[in-house]
Structure 1
Amino acid sequence: MNMMAPPSRNSLHYSCQILLALGLFSLQMLTPLEASRSKVEHLPGFQGPLPFELETGYVGLGEANDDMQVFYYFVKSENNPKKDPLMLWISGGPGCSSFSALAYQIGPFAFEIKEYNGSLPSLVSRPQSWTKLCNIIFVDLPLGTGFSYAKNVKDYRSDWKLVHNTHQFLRKWLIDHPEFLPNEFYIGADSYSGIPVPAILQEISNGNEEGHQPLINLQGYLLGNPWTTYKEDNYQIQYAHGMGLISDELYASLQRNCKGEYIDVDSGNELCLRDLQYFHECLSGINKFNILASICKDDLRMWRRSLTQELNASLSSRLTVPELSCRDYGFYLATKWISDESVRKALHIREGTIGTWERCYTTDFKREIFSTVEFHANLSKKGYRSLIYSGDLDLIVPFRSTQAWIRDLNYSIIEDWRSWYVNGQVAGYTRTYSNRMTYATVKGSGHIAPEYTPELCFPMFSRWISNLPL
């Protein structure tokens, strides 16, 4: 295996890269449909001029103009765009647009949560935006999500198609933005994207080694509460017991009857199945995204149905407006906002390409990668940095499952388990490893940690991206 370290930031080297990228750009004779970008001057619902630079655009991936068009939002760093890192963000799902991260987690604006009265929902600034110190590309991938479109969307909806499409998108985006070639490059992701992202990183690294142009200044990645092995559910039992959600007796019975396997249970193992049924009954009223948060009855229904339908169109409709206090209310406001013609015009959306906007298009997605541990090992051997973090109130991907696969990598511990702090208070716990991997828990956070505790996650990201200890 080639043990090449991440490329250095030699100025002469990258000057050549920029010239080469410009040459490639001119040689490819890209038409307006294949690559287009526009500056967003204002956002409807946001009062006053934008305090950040926002660009939207399309990158064509297919041989014909309408084969595959990937839509993106690009926010320049509010600090020093020329020198600050460049990051591509991939949201989970599978099949959720990174608009989720832009509007609810790490982007520079958020929806003002107040009761919808028929007018355009309002936007406010997010003080803990990660764009304070990083250039971030938020992309609508996989195809079928957000404003990306294609002739045959189903042909591109799988783990490996997402890997290849993302890699192709990134190199084409950099050809069109050669000024960012010298910037250190990272990928960030959460939840299900813990599956495709390590494979994307390895494909980028392999492409660099094979001489693919332009060369990407890949430095590392960060993953929040990531799916990794498809064994995450096996650790829900331990987590639930440790958090006092099930009794000692049930925990002991589950261990005895299921012998540590709670996913692929033998249909003849009636004792294990009985215990699992009791376990699920105990957790039926728990919000698995954040075990301390309230559970909203319409949560799953809101995810599965189109919110662009008028909610009061029919008294017989099962689709109802979520309670104002529910997490889903922000998603509801987003569909009202982004379906407005003035918003689509401001974002420079191509007319007639997308009807109903789907923040999360989760159907018809083929799962092909069932463990990413080997990818993590390969990336570490090549010297790439990584930050893996867990919201400690997440039952979807419990921190125990993340700690288990990291432990299986058998890395030497450089700095053992310790508290990390924000404003003099414990913000979580962290450990660093010999292969440039940092693991951290985020205290009081749920499945998407920056959404629940931005005041903790922003300092965590700021320190790590700046090569400082947590």
Structure 2
Amino acid sequence: MIWLQIPKWYDNQIQKSHNCISNPKITQLHDKYPSNYIFLKIKNKKIKKSTRTMGKLTFFIPLFTLFLSHFVASSLAKRQGDVLGKFYKAKQKKDLAIDKSYFKAALENVELDKVILPQEGLKEKDWIEKLPGQPTVKFQQYGGYVTVNESAGRALYYYFSEAENSKSLPLLLWLNGGIFKILLILSAGPGCSSIAYGAMEELGPFRVNSDGKTLHRNHYAWNLAANVLFLESPAGVGFSYSNTSSDLKTSGDRRTANDNVVFLLNWLERFPEYKNRDFYISGESYAGHYVPQLAHAILHHNNLANKTLINLKGIIIGNAVINEWTDFLGNYEYFASHALISDETYLDIHKYCYSDNTYNKPKCYSALEVADNNTYNLDIYNIYFPLCHNGNLTKYPKISSPLEFDPCSDKYVHAYMNRRDVQNALHANVTNIQYDWEACRDPLSNNWTDSAATVIPLLKESLAKGVRVWIFSGDTDGRVPVTSTKRSIQAMNLTVDKPWRSWLYEGEVGGYVETYEGGLTFATVRGAGHEVPSYQPARALSLISHFLFGTLPPGDF
């Protein structure tokens, strides 16, 4: 049995569809939750283990909470594509202490002698000879921990896949944010693993087979274009940890950026051959915050040190949380423009949910219920993609095309990462946690302390400092859709330099691209969902290669 908190007005509809039983004895939880919330008990044990299929259950809750909320996670949190709602709502409630102010680096200065710890011999210890079930490869891989706060016992886990010709290629950091399912309400914010998604389902060198024991090569891995570093951040995500339990209650954007800077400074000591290498930061989803915030912190500390501590050259973010209000507005606009909801429903939502002058809660919720019913049976992270109907592991690996993404991949990754031999090979879980490793975890989201309403000033700062800035968007993602991204870019008030055109990959339209004065490039990836490299690996590799080279992908001019 699992207790879930949901809006009270939605009780009847949930009970009809999801085998729930109201608990009349628990209608309020003192003053912690508003009185219009009730608690339901879920009978179906399969719900707890669900990933993609859980979207059905989640989408039935008004998607108004999707962008007006912004994170509270529970044991149901499993899927990166599910965290874009409850945190926004929390940020808008005046009684919650979430700092939405302009982001600034957490530390005024980095005292290098205090934050950089001895790293001698640790690179060799981090070397991964071979992962269980791994095919033979010619590149090197490493995994291990970097302490970012010695007194707190806070350490971040990384996985590093070098390129075969590692000496000639740049260093690329990948960060996952998180979108996961929370208390039957969609939410977006931090909390998901870059190993689970970035490394094992998107752009890493391997994909997990359906047996949950073996791996196959990703022929479109990004270590064909760069040396790729995957970081699980902040502490509490994936294998990253803190020995100070209160850290999980005081995390926020600022601490995350600061810890990531300290991680990089120490990691570069461990891998000194990369100190002067061109460095790029990439990520998706809530990493729309992490990436520009880390860039800001790096620029800040480089300036204070009066030298290049980290050789930052560019940042790139995909289907990213950028600007609270335009992210919100673009969501239902996408539903309407892709015939997922009717024009009437969209107009009702726009009128009764968006406008202060005509806001009407009952009518808003009624329109949202219609929209939720319309999108109930979709994988909202890729509206044209099939759901996972059978996530059971198979005795023998299923053979699939390199361009095909298995909708049940989350299940295989979960099984693989919870194998003790895998964790030993990765040099992970050194604290021997007593619970299952999960792709997304909840404690951070409940207590996140700061999340800026917008990162647009940081994107502009990077551009002004000569940092290459690209934004990309998979055009079949309904969670942080292309319409939201376009609205956020419009809010930057930039002048178009090279107008909208298609870009090509192997004679096919790979997407569309537009550039702006000041250096911003925006590109779409045709046929890709929220996790672009999962759904369109070849096009994603082409795009990241052009970003790293500083060239636009070819196409009609």
Pairwise TM-score range, normalised by the shorter structure: 0.7 to 0.9
Q: Aligned AA for 1:95? A: G
Q: Aligned AA for 1:185? A: F
Q: Aligned AA for 1:339? A: N
Match of 1:219, SS state, is: strand
1:185-226 CA-to-partner distances (Å, cap 9, x unmatched) read: 111010111122211110110100111776111111010100
Range 226-235 or range 354-363, more displaced: 354-363
Structure 2 residue 320 is matched with structure 1 residue 240? no
Match of 1:195, SS state, is: helix
Corresponding residue of 1:456:
539
Structure 2 residue 456 is matched with structure 1 residue 364? no
Corresponding residue of 1:86:
171
- Tell me: CA distance 1:279–1:173, structure 2 relative to 1, closer, same or farther (3 Å): same
Q: Could you tell me how far apart the structure 2 residues matched to 1:254 and 1:58 are?
A: 47
1:342-378 CA-to-partner distances (Å, cap 9, x unmatched) read: 2222222364443432321133320522211111111
The aligned runs of 1:220-231 (5 Å cut-off) are: 220-231=314-325
Q: Aligned AA for 1:89? A: W
- Tell me: CA distance 1:187–1:251, structure 2 relative to 1, closer, same or farther (3 Å): same
- Tell me: CA distance 1:331–1:274, structure 2 relative to 1, closer, same or farther (3 Å): closer
Contact 1:146 1:359 in 2 (8 A): yes
Contact 1:413 1:433 in 2 (8 A): yes
Match of 1:41, SS state, is: coil
Q: Could you tell me how far apart the structure 1 residues matched to 2:508 and 2:494 are?
A: 29
The aligned runs of 1:390-409 (5 Å cut-off) are: 390-409=473-492
Structure 2 residue 279 is matched with structure 1 residue 185? yes
Structure 2 residue 220 is matched with structure 1 residue 128? yes
Corresponding residue of 2:425:
346
Q: Could you tell me how far apart the structure 2 residues matched to 1:393 and 1:297 are?
A: 20
1:295-328 CA-to-partner distances (Å, cap 9, x unmatched) read: 3479xxx9xxxx9xx9xxxxxxxxxxxxx99956
Q: Could you tell me how far apart the structure 2 residues matched to 1:294 and 1:350 are?
A: 33
Contact 1:90 1:193 in 2 (8 A): yes
Corresponding residue of 1:46:
134
Corresponding residue of 2:40:
none
Match of 1:82, SS state, is: helix
Contact 1:87 1:188 in 2 (8 A): yes
Q: CA RMSD in A?
A: 2.9
Range 195-204 or range 347-356, more displaced: 347-356
- Tell me: CA distance 1:405–1:337, structure 2 relative to 1, closer, same or farther (3 Å): same
Q: Could you tell me how far apart the structure 1 residues matched to 2:161 and 2:427 are?
A: 15
Structure 2 residue 162 is matched with structure 1 residue 76? yes
Shift of 1:252: 3.3
Shift of 1:289: 0.4
Q: Could you tell me how far apart the structure 2 residues matched to 1:380 and 1:26 are?
A: 31
Gaps of 5+ in 1: 1-23, 311-323
1:10-56 CA-to-partner distances (Å, cap 9, x unmatched) read: xxxxxxxxxxxxxx899966278998842111111113x33321011
Contact 1:171 1:213 in 2 (8 A): no
Range 452-461 or range 230-239, more displaced: 230-239
Shift of 1:457: 0.8
Range 268-277 or range 181-190, more displaced: 268-277
Shift of 1:285: 1.9
* Number of residues of Structure 1 aligned to a counterpart in Structure 2: 414
Match of 2:458, SS state, is: helix
Contact 1:149 1:353 in 2 (8 A): no
- Tell me: CA distance 1:130–1:29, structure 2 relative to 1, closer, same or farther (3 Å): closer
Q: Could you tell me how far apart the structure 1 residues matched to 2:116 and 2:387 are?
A: 52
Q: Aligned AA for 2:146? A: V
Corresponding residue of 2:377:
285
Shift of 1:107: 0.8
Contact 1:392 1:444 in 2 (8 A): yes
Corresponding residue of 2:232:
140
Percentage of matched positions with identical amino acids? 29
Structure 1-normalised TM-score? Answer: 0.81
Q: Aligned AA for 2:505? A: V
Contact 1:220 1:384 in 2 (8 A): yes
Q: Could you tell me how far apart the structure 2 residues matched to 1:122 and 1:242 are?
A: 41
